[in-house]
Structure 1
Amino acid sequence: MSPLALSVLDLLPVRTGQTTADAVSAARGLARIADEAGYRRYWVAEHHNMPSVASTNPPVLISLLAAATERIRVGSGGVMLPNHAPLVVAEQFALLEAAYPGRIDLGIGRAPGADPVTAWALRAGADGQQPVERFPEHVEQVRAMLEGAGLAGHLGGRRFTLTATPHAVAAPPVWLLGSSDYSARLAAQLGLPYVFAHHFSGHGVDQALELYRTGFRGEGEPRTFLTANVVVADTEEESDRLALPFQHMMGRLRTNLPPIALPTVEEAEALELPLPPTAFRAVRESWFVGTADVVADRLVAFADRYGVDEVMVQPVAGDQAADPLDRTPARERTLRRLAAAVGARG
């Protein structure tokens, strides 16, 4: 296999005391570090109405991050298509591709990225299930509108054509994202590249990739990579401490506890566990936590096991109370040290 390529997934976490402006500034700094360290992509997720996540609008963030970097591909991980009109998504990413040619990725997901009330508000009170049920059709519409010929159709007895932009030179690649068999099957059927969200669900990877690879109907070879939660520190003990804030956040999500801003490491150490101790430890059983060498070895083995040459890491190292609010030092160190350790393995 080729040497392992690394990419980054960012939710723009908002910790205690941070403002949205602080979180955006921290993301810019993290993206610059990823760019300098040789990471392949930097993707931002779509989540809504969460005190601990500032990544609400991928196209806006992609524009900000692409402007702050020089080489790295910037994209969505992903745009939750049922929340948006396909034409709007196509227009947004056509403009991004025009502004940053050859550096934009459009990752699309089917989940709402929000609680039911927020999903209802995003869809202006429309039937919540209809956009989900029409997801395959809407993916195809986005793809067609991004291409030069556009989307042809008929309305009121008249023929029309919809294009995302007047004169596109190129279109950003479309990726399907998911953590279930559904997305794997659909990506294979449509001949699209596919990403399994291992950072969200560490289970079902083998089955999803087998379904995707054996069912692939597109031109060329199936393209896929995996995501993973990662923490790197000087010692195993320190990496365990740094993992605690995100571990608490995921534990609260699993038990439907009211969401809060991401705690600092010190706050996380003092918090009551949201789950029984065994279940709390299990939250991070599929994460990659440890020193740079240990995590690099595990990631290379992980990629080899699933036959991929790229892993997109979500750096889930928490910050401490004394850290500057407009930066995320523990996540920065994770990216720098991981890139150096993986690069040393060639």
Structure 2
Amino acid sequence: MRLSVLDLIPVRRGQTTAQALRASRALVEAADRLGYDRYWVAEHHNAASVASTSPAVELMYLGQNTSRIRLGSGGVMLPNHSPLAVAEQFALLAAAYGDRIDLGIGRAPGTDPVTSAAIRGQLRGGHMVDASGRPTDPVEEFPTNIRDILALLGPEGAEIRLRHGRTYQLRATPAAEHAPELWLLGSSDYSAELAATLGLPYVFAHHFSGRGTHRALDLYRGGFLPSGHAEAPRTFVTVNVSVAETADEAWEFSEPHQFLMASLATRGTMDPQPHVGAEARALLTDDLRAVVAPSVATWAVGDVGQVRDALLRTAEDFGVDEIMVHLVAGARETDDADAWPAKLRGLDLLAEALLD
């Protein structure tokens, strides 16, 4: 079993963005030391409970004291960005960290429509256009933009055809030694089929909903076309995890995240994460627990033996040899704001149980 980590850089009540970043840096350093395979950060915007807005910037900071773990995005939400900007950022990360950079890319905006428009400079009526001046939808351009990034990161760069038959060469960086490894991410059939067609590695966001995983992986594996990026299908899945010395503790630690997911489902917003204990229990009513119960049933929550067995079953069920854990254990009000003690302990427990 290979284990990796997905981090949204969550922000809890009373915690600043700077403290959340320092807490995540402690996590990636622990994961590096303990033998985890990858550490990926997500992209979300305008969410009071999530500090992870700019994966490339965060990774340059988070990875400074690591030596072996792969650093990546889980993922860059490509409709928010130009392909050249993404390629340049991750080419610089590869220049700094060598051959251990993953560029995970998703098609969703990772935010609400107003914020998404603001990111693209469209808040006041601007829009992207094609060569003929017609408005374009960056979501519809997703396959083309993926191909552009692959070309930009290649040794020859991308050749742009201009008018009158002229061409122009674009490169992400002047003299690359290493290129990031590109992964497509998704929680539906679309990215699975696209990854198969392009011959790219693929990750299903099982932690997001817990539904449709088998179908997406079957579509990916069944339709895979070998390429210069992967000769055979390469995939793993993400799982929400809360593990502690006792199952009761693990479930208590999971309650703040349960509340956030219920809040997102019922109100469309996520405030800073409440603290473990009375604060979270007061907010997580029986009605809200019922809202998230189907999703929570797909999480791995319990003592180390229970979570180990759950992750092994998940790996066998989906035919993967790697699980990316999204640690959902919260923090107590007395915990140091620069750390997530329950998550650090969870990394230790999982490493002892599953990593040689």
Name the TM tier (shorter chain): over 0.9
* CA spacing shift, 1:150–1:327, aligned 2, 3 Å: same
What TM-score do the two structures reach when normalised by structure 1? Answer: 0.96
What TM-score do the two structures reach when normalised by structure 2? Answer: 0.93
* Identical aligned residues as a percent: 53
Contact 1:242–1:319 (8 Å) recurs in 2: yes
Match of 1:341 in 2: 353
Structure-to-structure mapping, 1:105-120, within 5 angstroms:
105-120=102-117
- Which amino acid in structure 1 is aligned with residue 160 of structure 2? G
Residues 1:52 and 2:60 aligned together: no
Report the Cα offset of residue 235 of structure 1: 1.1
Residues 1:233 and 2:244 aligned together: yes
Match of 1:203 in 2: 211
2:58 and 2:225 mapped to 1: Cα distance?
A: 33
Match of 1:199, SS?
Answer: helix
1:53 and 1:79 mapped to 2: Cα distance?
A: 15
Match of 2:327 in 1: 315
1:212 and 1:129 mapped to 2: Cα distance?
A: 28
Match of 2:147, SS?
Answer: helix
Contact 2:262–2:288 (8 Å) recurs in 1: no
In structure 1, runs of 5+ residues without a counterpart are none
In structure 2, runs of 5+ residues without a counterpart are 129-134
1:121 and 1:339 mapped to 2: Cα distance?
A: 41
Report the Cα offset of residue 283 of structure 1: 3.5
Residues 1:140 and 2:147 aligned together: yes
Of 80, 87, 92, the residue aligned with 1:90 is: 87
Match of 1:182, SS?
Answer: helix
Match of 1:17 in 2: 14
Contact 2:258–2:289 (8 Å) recurs in 1: no
Residues 1:174 and 2:182 aligned together: yes
1:108 and 1:272 mapped to 2: Cα distance?
A: 33
Of 192, 199, 221, the residue aligned with 2:200 is: 192
Q: In the comparison of the two structures, how many residue pairs are matched?
A: 341
Q: Deviations over 1:293-338 (max 9, x none)?
A: 1101110111011111100000100100100000000111111101
Contact 1:246–1:262 (8 Å) recurs in 2: yes
- Which amino acid in structure 2 is aligned with residue 153 of structure 1? I
* CA spacing shift, 1:14–1:274, aligned 2, 3 Å: farther
- Which amino acid in structure 1 is aligned with residue 256 of structure 2? P
1:37 and 1:316 mapped to 2: Cα distance?
A: 19
Structure-to-structure mapping, 1:114-129, within 5 angstroms:
114-125=111-122, 126=127
Contact 2:193–2:220 (8 Å) recurs in 1: yes
RMSD: 1.4
Match of 1:255, SS?
Answer: helix
* CA spacing shift, 1:274–1:93, aligned 2, 3 Å: farther
Contact 2:244–2:250 (8 Å) recurs in 1: yes
Report the Cα offset of residue 50 of structure 1: 0.5
- Which amino acid in structure 2 is aligned with residue 309 of structure 1? D
Q: Which 10-residue stretch deviates more, 263-272 or 189-198?
A: 263-272
1:23 and 1:129 mapped to 2: Cα distance?
A: 37
1:184 and 1:280 mapped to 2: Cα distance?
A: 26
- Which amino acid in structure 1 is aligned with residue 31 of structure 2? A
Q: After the TM superposition, list the runs of 4 or more consecutive aligned residues in structure 1 that deviate by more than 3 angstroms.
A: 274-277
Match of 1:273 in 2: 285
Match of 1:37 in 2: 34
